[in-house]
Structure 1
Amino acid sequence: MQLDNYDKFPAVLPLIVEDDIFLYPFMIAPIFIGDEANINSATRAIEQNQLVMVTVTKPSHEGLRTPEDFYDVGVIGTIMRKVALPDGKIKILFQGLTKGKITNTVVDGKSISAIVEELHTDPFVTEAITALLEVLKENIQKLAKLNTKFPMDLVKTIDENSDPIRIVDLISSVLKLTKNEAYKLFKETNIETRLLQVIEHIKLEIENIKIQKEINQKVNSKIEKNHKEYFLKEQIKALQKELGTENVKDKDVKNYKKKLKVLKPFMGKDAYKETKKQIDKISRLHPDSPDASLLQTYIEQVLEIPFGQYADDKISIENVETQLNKDHYSLKEAKQRIVEFFAVKELLELRKIEDSKAKGTVLCFVGPPGVGKTSLANSISEALKRPLVRIALGGLEDVNELRGHRRTYVGAMPGRLVTGLINAKKMNPVIVLDEIDKIGSTHKGDPTAVMLEVLDPEQNHEFRDLYLNFSIDLSQCIFVATANDIRNIPAPLRDRMEFITVSSYTPSEKFHIAQDYLIPQELAKHGLKKSEISLGKSTLELIISNYTREAGVRNLRRVFSKIFRKVVRKLLADKSLKKVTINTKNIKEFLDQPIFDIDVCDKLPQIGITNGLAWTSVGGDVLKIEAIKLKGKGMLSLTGSMGEVMKESAKISHSVVKVLIDNGKIKIDSSKIPLSYKEKEDGFKPDISEIYQRYDIHLHIPEGATPKDGPSAGITMATTIASILSDKAVKNDVAMTGELTLSGKVLPIGGLKEKLIAAHKAKIKKALIPRKNYERDLEEIPDEVKKDLVIVAVDTIEDVLKEALV
């Protein structure tokens, strides 16, 4: 068909937007259309006997039909035939006639029309164009020789044709071009420029094909070499078989399959499938292959997991109680709660009730270092006759330490939990999660998330280790966690735990622990007999009071170890020496200078110094809170490494004392208020509020380098400020703890047992505590502490000042 049979350009034509490639004039091509707008445009062109414009969508704009989504050039042509397809699409046979340029688009109902003008190329052939055509034909010949898929009939057509426009269009249609490259070639109207661009693309394609062939040749030669090596190795293998020397790898594979067959009834489906897959894979690999050694390590690790191996001993609370009493002195409450916990498990076993909800439940022992948290777990393991697995979580930041490393990484290994099962050789050990309050999250993941999965009875029967790539059942394990500070454990993790508090030991308890446990154990460690050493009661009490600073007994054990080393040396140096006596007089020969960790209370009451009771990670302590007043404007200065909460508590205390002074509940001697010379001359009589307006107060909590925080020093700071402003001394044998509100009420605090034990060690006679703590926590306080300490319940700051100020 000729363009003369249709309207002249510019003309309004139906627009079809294609997603694939540019079509060129004189091409007859089938087009499959599924878009509704395109179908409508095609239908309208056929019905109205119109030309149609076919253009192409821009990259990453497939399926979109706004003017910004498609190119502004395309082919003007006619639809020769239309066929409806079963899926609602249509197929048209399109014949291109000429190139066109879209100047505007019109949305007509559900189809798109375009105002199109013809895109002309200058047909004038110059000598430069003729020369470029020769270069082009030469390069096409090269490309056809290198690329076997290049159509040879096209080469013949180009050779026989002299029209440069037609030649460039034909070549452009078969080159591997991106849409943007094809667009630049298509819209170019200067034939010389188009020829240069096409030649450049052809040369680039020739270079790419050469590089690909070179790479293929190298790969093929390597494959041939590998085939040759394989053939030779197979021959060696056959010779070894004839000689009776079977390949070691085959023996290993047979051994693996034999072990896997034994373990199959106890393994999960995914575990068996993954292991069998890897065994089959290693059987096909050459022993010297890098993957072979990695797979061998993996298979050996999996086959060492004790599938189906369980400690069969039934739970007996009698055994648990006996073992706990044998290994630990005191800790009555902790022992009782452990026994109750296992009593439930024993009853479930006796009545054959599935322990589904108790599976994975964690006992978490909370307390200062050295009080016996881990050793309680050891006792549980001994009593249940189950192996013990200890996983230290302190400072753990890499989540893969627990979940395992993927086998794609160099040095990959199973997580600590799976390694623990392998070492325990049982699937139901006692697993101790030590220092669970010290795990932290980084860019390597959050170990807390893994712990949530491990400790959740709904999930831990299918714990997935990344190295193994299959699930492991942890539901039969008994988990025991330890922590120093419950506040550092994330709330979701706390929700899955049964907390058992293991508090500080009193001096009397330490004495019995040392006498009945530590000394006999250390004597055995050092090869000493009981008859070779004499250590009296008074000496032991001196060591406990003056040479250790802790809530537990770990440092006390170290002290005995140090003494016994010196004893061993004395016995070896003097063969005639049969016994070494250690008493209060010669103790310095065996130990350094005494360490006074808790200062004994002052001998006399002092102004501006108050005994406060504090809880630390190593037990209770007595802190002397000090204050001085300086002439100023009523400012409050705070030092001593206080945290934000403690600073706020100090400000509250300052304000409460000011209110008490204003209300006359703290008596102030007006003669102590500083006056200027003029005020004295004028006979000025100051108001009592001037006492805190004309003095700055500096409040300090030793030791300055130790960080401190929390609200429980509120009443102590208020007492110190009240003392310094009223010039009344604070009783030296009184200590206190309690949070203070702005209204003057005393709120309850935590860690009361450790605080009162510290007061007892410091020889405090009276302790002031909040009323709620008095009613709720007094039963936990050891009898020897309650015997020597007068414990007074207070409700308000006025009660505190009444008891504390002289």
Structure 2
Amino acid sequence: MQLENYEDFPQTIPLIIEDELFLYPFMIAPIFLSDEQNIKAVENAIEFNKLVIVSVSKTANEKNREKDSFYDIGVIGNIMRKVSLPDGKIKVLFQGLAKGKIIDFNESRPLFAAVEKIENEPFSNEAIKSLVEVVIESVKKLSRLNSKFPVDLIKTLEENDDASRVADLISSVLNLKKDEAFKLFSQTNLEQRLLDIIEVINKEIESYKIQKEITQKVNSKIEKTHKDYFLKEQIKALQKELGVDNQKEEEIKSYKKKLKAKKTFMGKDAYKETKRQIEKLSRMNPDSPDASLLQTYVELVLDIPFGEYSNEKISVSSVEKQLNKDHYSLEKAKERIAEYFAVKQLLEQRKIEDLKSKGTVLCFVGPPGVGKTSLANSISEALKRPLVRIALGGMEDVNELRGHRRTYVGAMPGRLVKGLIDAKKMNPVMVLDEIDKLGTSHRGDPTAVMLEVLDPEQNHEFRDLYLNFPIDLSQVIFVSTANDIRNIPAPLRDRMEFIEISSYTPNEKYHIAKDYLIPQELEKHGLSKNEVSINKATIETIISKYTREAGVRNLRRVFSKLFRKVVKQILSDENVTKVAIGVKDLKTYLDNPIFEIDPADKENFVGISNGLAWTSVGGDILKIEAIKLKGKGDLKVTGSLGDVMKESSSISYSVVKLLIDECSLKIDEKLIPKTFKEQEENTKLDISEIYKRYDIHLHVPAGATPKDGPSAGITMALAIASVLSNRKIKADIAMTGELTLSGKVLPIGGLKEKLIAAFKAKMTKVLIPRKNFERDLDDVPQEVKDALTIKAVDTIDDVLNEALI
């Protein structure tokens, strides 16, 4: 069928947009269509006996019919046959007749496009004929490298006189990207089109040549590998006949010899499993992938120090001596550690072996930097046993502790077994650091493993999944550390005895800095004592204004920073032989002060009370402010408070209201605002009207910092009582304690840190709950108790009597 049988061009005809298929004139090809617009276009063409134009979308799976989403040149042709398929798809047989250009496309009528027929530009027959011969010769070269050009196609090309048809046939076979295919397809200059095709074919020829060379190299390499393998096997066979190759046999003999030496100490299951794996390894081909994995397992098991112990006798005196040498203060912690090892020494002397493993696991609890891990280091040093540190912070995978089964790729034993291998002893000091930060996830619960490890009834048969036999951990001295006991699960807490290590006082920090930190940092920076001079006032200023922490870790960093600058100064100026650092020089070396606890106010104010708070870095002063505003008796609380402190504020307000109702808190009637009517009638007001006619706004400054805890009840109640009674609060008094609705003061925690904070803030008097006064003052440093007047309170009345003026 010819174009002459249809209307003249340009004309508006149905548009079919294909995803991948580039069609060419004079080509009859099946097309599978599923898009609704394409199917409608086919149906319209068949119904009205119209031509269609087939174009190609620029992007794969393009569903939108927008002007720039498809190429503007396609193939004009007719639908010869249509067959319906399942799922709403159709198959059509399309006959291409000519190339066409879409000259107009209306996006509101995406079914049709205005099309005009396009022809090739005039050309020279002689030039085209020469180019066709070159093209066909190039195709023949390519066909020898690739079978995509069969003999029949080459024969067709040679017999065809139409150069445009030859170009179309070759373009349809070449493996081109969409843009490249369209460039060839849309080219109307036949001479240029043939030149472009020659360039594409030459590129493919070069590409196939390179591929062939690479393939030949790979094949030759594979053949060489096979050849080397067979030669090696022959050499091994010859060496075996001659008795030369004994490497593998020597290794197996070495493993068996080591196993025999450890047999007495390993236990039946361990010996049996290791022996079985050695026998399996001896039968295995050394080049097998499993052989290396099995050999790794055998070598690792034989590295476990079965039967190897530190034979140094436990001595309480040496432990105490080492602890005192390495740590200042921490008297209670040192005493408890000495008691722990006194029991072990006695059991060892009396050879009570059965009870040797029944000891308690010590857990040092305290803020960061107070010396928890360094205490374990001192224990290790005193006992002359290796130290193994296992960081548990953030650990969620149970296999990190228990090991991976050997069926997994990259399987390794757990950290406990690796710790024994690194220590090369079966009785090291093992520090379980940050045990309160163990995590739980879909990969298991490491806490369950720790329960087994720390239980004397179970840890003598701890089973590592990688080893696949029990191992004895009962001789290991376990020491754990934690920042917060509350984060440790209850069953795990039951396995341990907690030794609390509290904040250091400024005086303790001074002695630690003078006797430990400064000498250590001087040595670390290559300085001698004669080259740097720091007086007491400078050290105290650094402690108070450049660090805020419970421990001394940041204090060490400050001295490190200071000495780095000193080193640079000495190297920069040859005349400098000694550097003296005073308080005035600190700004030069360390910039401006960073921290400073606000000292007690010199002036007394209404509605500002001083609370005492415990933080992760020690104690702090918590000022609580209250104001009264004309209103209806509502309470507003601000300052980023947690649920506990919000409840404390409500309880405090209720307690103060009760005191006003019972006339326990004296209120001046002049403070109560009168309405106009009450002023006219000179009405006598009820005292309770004061909290009915004022709103209270309670605020804890530093609003961006979250605050929570059950120790601010009496402080809040005092601030509310102050603003409602218009009585000032003593500025040099601080307090801590929780309130009940009946006005009783409940005990709190963290008393030592809170009193140290009051001491640093230069308070003169501190109010604390009666129970804390009776049981916790022994832990407070004497210098703090000497500087403060510590008063026990039982009820809110006691607080008001002491604090209000």
TM-score by length of 2: 0.70
- Conserved? CA contact 2:609–2:729, under 8 Å: yes
Which stretch shows the higher mean deviation, 705-714 or 744-753? 705-714
RMSD, aligned CA: 1.9
Residue in structure 1 matched with residue 753 of structure 2 by the alignment: 754
Residue in structure 2 matched with residue 558 of structure 1 by the alignment: 557
Measured in 2, the distance between the counterparts of 1:284 and 1:234 equals: 16
Q: Helix, strand or coil: the match of 2:637?
A: strand
Question: What residue identity is the alignment partner of 1:580?
Answer: V
Residue in structure 1 matched with residue 737 of structure 2 by the alignment: 738
Is 2:334 the partner of 1:335?
A: yes
- Conserved? CA contact 1:345–1:355, under 8 Å: no
Q: Give the alignment of 1:121-132 within 5 angstroms.
A: none
> Cα deviations across residues 585-615 of structure 1 (Å, max 9, x unaligned)?
1111111211224221222111111111111
What is the CA distance between 1:390 and its match in structure 2? 0.6
Is 2:687 the partner of 1:673?
A: no
Residue in structure 2 matched with residue 345 of structure 1 by the alignment: 344
What is the CA distance between 1:337 and its match in structure 2? 0.9
Residue in structure 1 matched with residue 281 of structure 2 by the alignment: 282
- Conserved? CA contact 2:518–2:559, under 8 Å: yes
What is the CA distance between 1:252 and its match in structure 2? 2.6
Residue in structure 1 matched with residue 725 of structure 2 by the alignment: 726
Measured in 2, the distance between the counterparts of 1:459 and 1:408 equals: 26
Residue in structure 2 matched with residue 185 of structure 1 by the alignment: none
Measured in 2, the distance between the counterparts of 1:360 and 1:422 equals: 24
Residue in structure 2 matched with residue 485 of structure 1 by the alignment: 484
Measured in 2, the distance between the counterparts of 1:374 and 1:408 equals: 36
What is the CA distance between 1:233 and its match in structure 2? 7.2
Residue in structure 1 matched with residue 545 of structure 2 by the alignment: 546
Residue in structure 2 matched with residue 537 of structure 1 by the alignment: 536
- Evaluate the alpha carbon distance shift between residue 358 and residue 795 of structure 1 in structure 2; reply closer, same or farther with a 3 A threshold: farther
- Evaluate the alpha carbon distance shift between residue 723 and residue 541 of structure 1 in structure 2; reply closer, same or farther with a 3 A threshold: same
Measured in 2, the distance between the counterparts of 1:400 and 1:546 equals: 45
Gaps of 5+ in 2: 1-226
Misfit runs of 4+, over 4 Å: 228-236
Q: Give the alignment of 1:37-48 within 5 angstroms.
A: none
Q: Helix, strand or coil: the match of 2:741?
A: coil
Is 2:706 the partner of 1:707?
A: yes
Residue in structure 2 matched with residue 24 of structure 1 by the alignment: none
What is the CA distance between 1:255 and its match in structure 2? 2.1
What is the CA distance between 1:232 and its match in structure 2? 8.6
Residue in structure 2 matched with residue 593 of structure 1 by the alignment: 592
What is the CA distance between 1:539 and its match in structure 2? 1.0
Question: What residue identity is the alignment partner of 2:708?
Answer: D
Question: What residue identity is the alignment partner of 1:262?
Answer: A
Measured in 2, the distance between the counterparts of 1:463 and 1:369 equals: 31
- Conserved? CA contact 2:626–2:697, under 8 Å: yes
Measured in 2, the distance between the counterparts of 1:495 and 1:800 equals: 38
Residue in structure 2 matched with residue 316 of structure 1 by the alignment: 315
What is the CA distance between 1:490 and its match in structure 2? 1.3
Residue in structure 2 matched with residue 412 of structure 1 by the alignment: 411
Residue in structure 1 matched with residue 691 of structure 2 by the alignment: 692
- Conserved? CA contact 1:629–1:695, under 8 Å: yes
Measured in 2, the distance between the counterparts of 1:414 and 1:306 equals: 15
Measured in 2, the distance between the counterparts of 1:703 and 1:287 equals: 69
Residue in structure 2 matched with residue 567 of structure 1 by the alignment: 566
Is 2:365 the partner of 1:371?
A: no
Is 2:799 the partner of 1:805?
A: no
What is the CA distance between 1:247 and its match in structure 2? 5.4
Which stretch shows the higher mean deviation, 430-439 or 664-673? 664-673
User: How many residues were matched structurally?
Assistant: 580
Measured in 1, the distance between the counterparts of 2:751 and 2:401 equals: 36
- Evaluate the alpha carbon distance shift between residue 585 and residue 551 of structure 1 in structure 2; reply closer, same or farther with a 3 A threshold: same
What is the CA distance between 1:372 and its match in structure 2? 0.8
What is the CA distance between 1:250 and its match in structure 2? 3.3
- Evaluate the alpha carbon distance shift between residue 597 and residue 288 of structure 1 in structure 2; reply closer, same or farther with a 3 A threshold: farther
Residue in structure 1 matched with residue 161 of structure 2 by the alignment: none
Measured in 1, the distance between the counterparts of 2:571 and 2:379 equals: 40
What is the CA distance between 1:674 and its match in structure 2? 2.6
Q: Helix, strand or coil: the match of 2:605?
A: coil
- Conserved? CA contact 2:326–2:378, under 8 Å: yes
Measured in 2, the distance between the counterparts of 1:658 and 1:742 equals: 11
Measured in 2, the distance between the counterparts of 1:235 and 1:247 equals: 15
Q: Helix, strand or coil: the match of 1:468?
A: coil
Q: Helix, strand or coil: the match of 2:394?
A: coil
What is the CA distance between 1:261 and its match in structure 2? 1.5
- Conserved? CA contact 1:432–1:479, under 8 Å: yes
Measured in 2, the distance between the counterparts of 1:406 and 1:690 equals: 75
Residue in structure 2 matched with residue 356 of structure 1 by the alignment: 355
Measured in 2, the distance between the counterparts of 1:606 and 1:288 equals: 86
Q: Helix, strand or coil: the match of 2:776?
A: helix
- Conserved? CA contact 1:361–1:456, under 8 Å: no
Gaps of 5+ in 1: 1-227
What is the CA distance between 1:325 and its match in structure 2? 0.7
Q: Give the alignment of 1:616-695 within 5 angstroms.
A: 616-695=615-694
> Cα deviations across residues 189-246 of structure 1 (Å, max 9, x unaligned)?
xxxxxxxxxxxxxxxxxxxxxxxxxxxxxxxxxxxxxxx9999976543212235541
Q: Aligned residues: percent identity?
A: 76
Q: Helix, strand or coil: the match of 2:600?
A: coil
Is 2:403 the partner of 1:396?
A: no
Question: What residue identity is the alignment partner of 1:320?
Answer: V
Is 2:770 the partner of 1:764?
A: no
Q: Helix, strand or coil: the match of 1:586?
A: helix
- Conserved? CA contact 1:359–1:477, under 8 Å: no
What is the CA distance between 1:371 and its match in structure 2? 0.9
Measured in 2, the distance between the counterparts of 1:729 and 1:784 equals: 30
Q: Helix, strand or coil: the match of 1:374?
A: helix
What is the CA distance between 1:249 and its match in structure 2? 3.4
Question: What residue identity is the alignment partner of 2:749?
Answer: G
Q: Helix, strand or coil: the match of 2:583?
A: coil
- Conserved? CA contact 1:654–1:718, under 8 Å: yes
Question: What residue identity is the alignment partner of 1:568?
Answer: V
Measured in 1, the distance between the counterparts of 2:542 and 2:348 equals: 47
- Conserved? CA contact 1:356–1:457, under 8 Å: no
- Evaluate the alpha carbon distance shift between residue 640 and residue 253 of structure 1 in structure 2; reply closer, same or farther with a 3 A threshold: farther
- Evaluate the alpha carbon distance shift between residue 464 and residue 786 of structure 1 in structure 2; reply closer, same or farther with a 3 A threshold: same
Q: Helix, strand or coil: the match of 1:449?
A: helix
- Conserved? CA contact 2:439–2:445, under 8 Å: yes
Question: What residue identity is the alignment partner of 2:785?
Answer: K
- Evaluate the alpha carbon distance shift between residue 256 and residue 360 of structure 1 in structure 2; reply closer, same or farther with a 3 A threshold: farther
What is the CA distance between 1:756 and its match in structure 2? 0.4
